[in-house]
Amino acid sequence: MSQSSATPLAAPAIQVPAIQVPAVPLLQLGTWVVFFGLLAMLAIFFVSADQGALSLFAGNAVHEWVHDARHLLGYPCH
């Protein structure tokens, strides 16, 4: 897990990538996290909860269609 977590000062014997690629700036990443986070929550909502505890659409078509996935992926159902 973290066996290669030697501090930069420790100067490891083998240094495969000699160049440190700059980290992705968090501010730039934040925009994408918000954008995709909302999309992902919507997708998870439809598979896990729509027409169960909460209903965005009337009826049971979404619930019935993803029924088996909802059970087998461990979301509360029925």
Partner 1 sequence: MGTVPRDRSVLSPAAFLLRGLAVGLAAGLIAFVVAFALGEPYVDDAIALEEAAAAQPPAEHPEHAEEAQEPAGQDGMVEISRENQKSWGLLTGTLAIGAALGGLAALAAAAVLGRLGLSARGSTALVALVGFVAVTLVPFTKYPATPPAVGSGETIGGRTASYFALLLVSVLAAIAVVVLANRLRARYDGWTAAFVGAGVYLVVVTGTGLLLPTVNELGDFPADTLWYFRRSSLVTLAALWASIGVGLTVLVGRMHDRAAADLARRELAASL
Q: Which of residues 46-65 bind partner 1 (CB under 8 A)?
A: 46-47, 49, 52-54, 57-61, 64-65
CA 26 distance to own-chain centroid: 17
SS3 50: strand
Q: Is 18 in the site for partner 1 (CB under 8 A)?
A: yes
| DSSP state for residue 54 in the 8-state scheme | B
Q: Is 15 in the site for partner 1 (CB under 8 A)?
A: no
34 neighbors 41 (Cβ within 8 angstroms): no
Contacting positions for partner 1 (CB under 8 A): 1-8, 17-26, 28-29, 31-33, 36-37, 39-41, 43-44, 46-47, 49, 52-54, 57-61, 64-78
